[in-house]
Amino acid sequence: MTSFRIKPALLQIHSVLGLVAALILSLMGVTGAIMGFEDEIQAGLNATLAHVTPRAEAPLAPAELVARLQADPALGKISAITLSRDPSAAARIRFARNDAGGRPSSLLVDPYDGRVLGEPRGEAFFETVRHLHRWLLLPGDGNGAGRQITGAAVLGLLVLLITGIVLRWPKRASSAKLWLKPQLGLRGRGLHRSLHSVIGTWLLPVYLVIALTGLSYSYAWYKDGLTWLLAPSRAPMAAKAPREGRSEAADAKTVSLDRVWTTVREQIGDRFAVMQLTLPAGGGAVRVRAWPSEDHDGRRDEFRIDGATGRLISADRYADKTTGERVLARILDIHRGSILGWPGQLVFMLAAALMPLFAVTGVLLYLSRRRLRRPQPMAQTIQLVPGE
């Protein structure tokens, strides 16, 4: 009897919250699906442009590569360099924001002579999609209102998942088969309800993972909580490391890439497939990321090196991490399903793409429920589903 009284309240919460968050969740789902295979799509689009002819001589060291590029006054200030161990792969150069706040497009360059090959195709498109997914293209990016809106929408998704599963939990074990089988032969309201509830039940674990990992990008308190739960011993280190780098190199006017590169070779050698050097603005610590494969996933080693002296400030190697720390390092891989390989990535992409289905069917169910609750002629007999 108690559940009979609770379910109408849960249905009301589920319906109202779904109507409020439907558009934003649909937008986040579609943009998330577009980014599902972003790396693979960009690799395909730039397969020819990013290819160079291997040569007998060694590629230019980062300092020489930067010097040749910065000799062109038309180019902006370089903020990051991505290098590959593949002798036929181009280097990728990213630039700092200009005075207007915009960021120039990245460039693909020949690592042997610094010759500019062109701008990578698809970069601007995916950058816009990413900003739409995370911040709704609102001013302020991660510091603006968009981040709070998307974070609130993800919290709403968690409530929708919980109330949805409670509302349709089977009363008898024998009804589980019907509970998980869509009734595609129905029409109208019955079909809408079947698609909304059955497909939602199948995809609930995926949406739960997406929501629980996605919240770490919206709320600092949530990310801190995950760190406390999974890697409590590293939480103070994570907070102190940036301050240490700034305090010791705050007076540096330039970055000595030669010294930095010497330290990088000592720490990593040739044990990487892709490496990215992120240069500080106005002097400071250079951030180095090294991936063992071309996947650019969370399985990477990170180093912070004093830009002026080349002294190693910190080393964070993936092999030394605990299980909890590895989970935190691969939170993005979990969020998009790539931690399960391309099959998981495909499932998560399709689940994200189906988010508008629940918005449309949910609105149709709400409207039909309102219509059925209106006074009906005596000759008609209409019965709502229990809980409605």
Closest to 260 (Cα-Cα) out of 319, 304, 209, 222: 304
Average pLDDT over residues 345-355: 97
What confidence category does residue 239 fall into, taking pLDDT thresholds of 50, 70 and 90? very low
> Cβ-count burial of 158 within 10 angstroms (0-12 exposed, 13-18 middle, 19+ buried)?
middle
CA gap 252, 307 in Å, rounded = 8
| pLDDT value at 304 more than 90 | yes
What confidence category does residue 101 fall into, taking pLDDT thresholds of 50, 70 and 90? low
Kindly report the average pLDDT of the chain as a whole number: 87
Residue 330 CA from chain centroid, whole number: 11
Average pLDDT over residues 293-313: 92
> What's the confidence (pLDDT) of residue 370?
79
Distance linking the first and last C-alpha atoms of the chain: 15
> What's the confidence (pLDDT) of residue 241?
42
Among the residue ranges 54-63, 130-139, 245-254, 270-279, the one predicted with the least confidence is 245-254
Residue 278: φ, ψ to 5°: -100, 120
> What's the confidence (pLDDT) of residue 305?
96
> What's the confidence (pLDDT) of residue 121?
95
Q: Which CATH number fits domain 232-321: 2.60.120, 1.20.950, 3.10.450, 3.30.70?
A: 3.10.450
> What's the confidence (pLDDT) of residue 184?
82
> What's the confidence (pLDDT) of residue 244?
42
Among the residue ranges 158-172, 201-215, 247-261, 361-375, the one predicted with the least confidence is 247-261
- Long-range pairs, 29-32, Cβ under 8 A, ≥24: 29/352, 29/353, 29/354, 29/355, 29/356, 30/352, 30/353, 30/355, 30/356, 31/129, 31/130, 31/132, 31/133, 32/133, 32/210, 32/336, 32/349, 32/352
| pLDDT value at 237 more than 50 | no
What confidence category does residue 294 fall into, taking pLDDT thresholds of 50, 70 and 90? confident
| pLDDT value at 242 more than 70 | no
Among the residue ranges 78-87, 195-204, 222-231, 377-386, the one predicted with the least confidence is 377-386
> What's the confidence (pLDDT) of residue 173?
58
| pLDDT value at 190 more than 70 | yes
What confidence category does residue 376 fall into, taking pLDDT thresholds of 50, 70 and 90? low
CA gap 203, 209 in Å, rounded = 10
| pLDDT value at 200 more than 60 | yes
